[in-house]
């Protein structure tokens, strides 16, 4: 398990070489969780490897990543996620909090959830470790209210189609083969990967969210951060 909390000030402003992708979805309240999970899991599917096992002479082998299909209940949609209950739980917890915050904010139901991949750079005392983000995914959510069952049925289908487009977008980004952290040595592995899970190894990530208040200003509203290693505490 990671021992140190992540570093300094929040990386709400991406570093210079951090690529940022933004996706937008409009969903009904009860679809928020599934839509967010679909996107987050699809990203993490591409950003997780098998567990590394280091051997002598600096070589390592990689474990196997299993996958499974997930059917959505409120959206005509299905997606693939990594077979890791720990990872699924962590994402569900984050998305659940986001959904609750959206609901209780009383705003127009607008917010965004961010998934940031970062690397840790150790600094000498007295400076704390730096977190350098290298990829940031932001999902902007607009919650709509529907009047009747017919509209809901149409929404099921439409949101399903939209999510298909989002998956295609995500895959396009992944396919660009842009910067990925260098494969680390054994001593560096915790600076690049989250090694706390027992079956898979995602890149170090953190999830945060913002609720937009009714004035549309996102700066003043609550900003919460869910840090992977604090979830384990």
| Contact string (CB under 8 A) for another protein, positions 140-179, x = contact | -----------------------xx--xx-xxx-xx-x--
Residues 50-79 that bind another protein (CB under 8 A): 50-51, 53, 55, 57-69, 71, 76, 78-79
- Residue 21 tokens read as 């992708």
* In the complex, minimum distance from the CB of residue 176 to another protein, in angstroms, rounded to a whole number: 9
Rounded to 10°, the helix 32-46/149-174 angle is 10
* In the complex, minimum distance from the CB of residue 121 to another protein, in angstroms, rounded to a whole number: 18
How many beta carbons lie within 10 A of that of residue 77, not counting itself? 22
- Residue 208 tokens read as 């945060």
By CB under 8 A, residue 227 contacts another protein: no
CA nearest neighbour of 222 among 101, 97, 91, 138: 101
CA nearest neighbour of 228 among 198, 197, 205, 199: 205
* In the complex, minimum distance from the CB of residue 209 to another protein, in angstroms, rounded to a whole number: 23
Instruction: Say how far apart CA 226 and CA 224 lie, in whole Å.
Output: 7
Closest to another protein by CB, 15 or 78 = 78
Instruction: Say how far apart CA 145 and CA 39 lie, in whole Å.
Output: 22
Of 7, 37, 40, 45, the one binding another protein by CB under 8 A: 45
Would you tell me which residues interact with another protein (CB under 8 A)? Answer: 42, 45-46, 49-51, 53, 55, 57-69, 71, 76, 78-80, 82-84, 163-164, 167-168, 170-172, 174-175, 177, 182-186, 198-200
């Amino acid at each position: 398990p990671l021992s140190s909390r992540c570093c300094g000030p929040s990386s709400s402003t991406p570093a210079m070489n951090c690529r940022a992708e933004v996706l937008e979805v409009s969903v009904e309240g009860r679809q928020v969780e599934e839509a967010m999970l679909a996107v987050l899991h699809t990203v993490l599917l591409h950003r997780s490897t098998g567990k590394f096992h280091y051997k002598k002479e600096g070589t390592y082998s990689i474990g196997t990543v299993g996958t499974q299909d997930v059917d959505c209940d409120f959206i005509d949609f299905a997606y693939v996620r990594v077979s890791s209950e720990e990872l699924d739980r962590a994402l569900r917890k984050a998305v659940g909090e986001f959904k609750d915050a959206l609901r209780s904010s009383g705003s127009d139901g607008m917010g965004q959830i961010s998934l940031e991949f970062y690397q840790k750079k150790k600094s000498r005392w007295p400076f704390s470790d730096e977190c350098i983000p290298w990829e940031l995914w932001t999902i902007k959510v607009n919650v709509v209210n529907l009047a009747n069952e017919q509209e809901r049925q149409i929404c099921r289908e439409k949101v399903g189609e939209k999510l298909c487009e989002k998956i295609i977008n995500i895959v396009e980004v992944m396919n660009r083969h842009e910067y990925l952290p260098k494969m680390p040595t054994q001593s560096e592995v915790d600076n690049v990967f989250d090694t706390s899970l027992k079956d898979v190894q995602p890149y170090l990530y953190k999830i945060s969210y913002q609720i937009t208040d009714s004035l549309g200003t996102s700066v003043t509203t609550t900003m919460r951060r869910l840090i992977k290693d604090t979830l384990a505490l």
